[in-house]
Amino acid sequence: MAIAYGIIFALSLIMPPLYFAFIRKKQNEPWLLGLFLCVCVVTFGYFLVSISKTVELALWANKITYLGQVFVPMCMFMIISKLCGYTYKKWVLGVLIGLAVIMYAIVFTTGWLDWYYTNVTLEFENGSAYLVKEYGILHPTNLIYIVAYFVAMLVVCITSLVKKKDASQKLAGFMLAIVLGNVGMWIVGKITTWNFELLAATFYMSVLAYFFVYLLLQDYIRKVDVPASTMEKTRVIVLDSIPKAERLERVLKLLPADKTLTARQMEMLDGLLDGKSQKEIAADLHISESTVKWHFGILYTTLNVSGKDEILALFK
């Protein structure tokens, strides 16, 4: 088990540098970075428990695990909310942070008070240590805390799918799949008698999933994320591109009131109205043709059209 925890911890350490190398260059996503760092803390704690020689050291390692674990669901919830087009007032964030701090404070009393654990012993299996715990009266608060976040994440995803919030349904569906996967692995971990903590692997797989989502959707930014300069640039394109001004205005009228186009999507539309093929647009922008096709797919979804022909039909 110690080797498995060590491998997961080492893999987790790779994620923050990957964030700065691939995500941070184009957009600042503090909740994503926060999730990566929290999972590093969680996996480090699990690894420390597995190599502990005394129950006292294992308890401190367990507290390190919980330091990250209480904030992981909050980070996931904020990431999913943003990707599904939801924003919250600052006081909501304050309440969530406050709840996480209270939850951790309860766990931190372990070893001095019997609120969370009434008794803890250290056992060994194949050279790896694990804690055998007897739960106290406040231990159910952790269950309530995690379940509440799972329910909140499911509600956000399902509501986004039903109301068609400012995010593609495929994206909301993918977020829903990630949450259901977490729920499933968490339940398996609760009902099995394995001494290995599945949450370590589950959190890391979730981190990978969110990383690839952001990697693919860097250019797909909701209206609340689009700087004023981008909006001004869009207006300049319409006013200054005299030969295409009227056509651009017609296309932009297809946009729902709560949506806008990113700079990259405007480049796709600009090339389309110039009569260029996807191969030519890819060459102009120095990106792959498959990437151009992907951006056009997002563009058509945003404009609520079936494809290029429906856009060009506006000018017949």
pLDDT of 221 reads 41
Asked if residue 116 and residue 40 are part of one domain, the reply reads yes
Residues 170 and 292 in one domain: no
Gap between the Cα atoms of 206 and 12, Å rounded: 11
**Domain stop point among 196, 216, 236:** 216
The answer to whether 257 touches 271, Cβ cutoff 8 Å, is no
- Quote the pLDDT of residue 78: 93
**What local confidence, expressed as pLDDT, does residue 230 receive?**
40
Point out the domain boundary residue: 216, 240, 255: 216
Burial classification of residue 54, based on how many CB atoms lie within 10 Å of its CB (0-12 exposed, 13-18 middle, 19 or more buried)? exposed
Q: In terms of domains, do 160 and 234 share one?
A: no
Task: Based on the fold, state whether residues 64 and 104 are members of the same structural domain.
Answer: yes
pLDDT in tens, 169-205: 677 788 888 889 888 888 887 787 777 788 888 889 9
Number of domains making up the chain? 2
For residues 174 and 271, membership in a common domain is answered with: no
Which amino acid does the sequence have at 228?
Answer: A
Query: Distance between CA atoms of 79 and 312, rounded to whole angstroms?
Result: 36
Residues 102 and 246 in one domain: no
Give residue 310's domain range. 223-315
Structure-model confidence comparison of residues 14 and 281, the more confident one: 14
Q: Over range 82-110, report the average pLDDT.
A: 90
Report d(CA 316, CA 313) in Å as an integer: 5
- In the chain, the amino acid numbered 120 is V
Residues 59 and 174 in one domain: yes
Are residues 180 and 306 located together in one domain of the fold?
no
288 vs 42, higher pLDDT? 42
Decide which of 216, 244, 262 is a domain's last residue: 216
250-275 average pLDDT score: 81
**What is the pLDDT, as a whole number, of residue 26?**
67
Q: What local confidence, expressed as pLDDT, does residue 220 receive?
A: 47
231 and 254 fall within a common domain? yes
| Alpha carbon distance 116, 135 (integer Å) | 6
Same-domain status, 110 and 9:
yes
Enter the tokens of residue 67.
Answer: 């330091």
- The answer to whether residue 40 scores a pLDDT higher than 90 is yes
Q: Please tell me the predicted confidence (pLDDT) of residue 169.
A: 65
Question: What is the secondary structure of 95-154 as a DSSP string?
Answer: HHHHHHHHHHHHHHTBTTBSSSEEEEEEEEETTEEEEEEEE-TTTHHHHHHHHHHHHHHH
pTM above 0.75, yes or no: no
Q: Residue 285 and residue 276: Cα distance in Å, rounded? A: 12
- My answer on whether 199 and 126 are in the same domain is yes
Rounded to 10 degrees, what is the CA torsion of 285, 291, 294, 295?
Answer: -20
Q: At what angle do helices 30-50 and 55-69 cross, to 10 degrees?
A: 160
pLDDT at residue 290 is higher than 60: yes
Q: What is the percent of the chain with per-residue pLDDT over 70, rounded to a whole number?
A: 87
The 10s digit of each residue's pLDDT in 136-171 is 999 999 999 999 999 999 998 888 888 754 445 677
CATH number of the domain encompassing residue 276: 1.10.10.10
Residue 266 has pLDDT above 70, yes or no: yes
Contact 307/300 with Cβ under 8 angstroms?
yes
CATH number at residue 87: 1.20.1070.10
Range 143-149, long-range pairs (CB < 8 A, 24+ positions):
145/70, 145/73, 145/99, 145/103, 146/73, 146/186, 149/73, 149/74, 149/76, 149/77
Query: Does residue 51 carry a pLDDT above 90?
Result: yes
- Eight-state DSSP code of residue 29: -
Is the same domain home to 16 and 47?
Answer: yes
287: exposed, middle or buried (Cβ count in 10 Å: 0-12, 13-18, 19+): middle
What confidence score (pLDDT) does residue 216 get? Answer: 74
d(CA 83, CA 222): 8
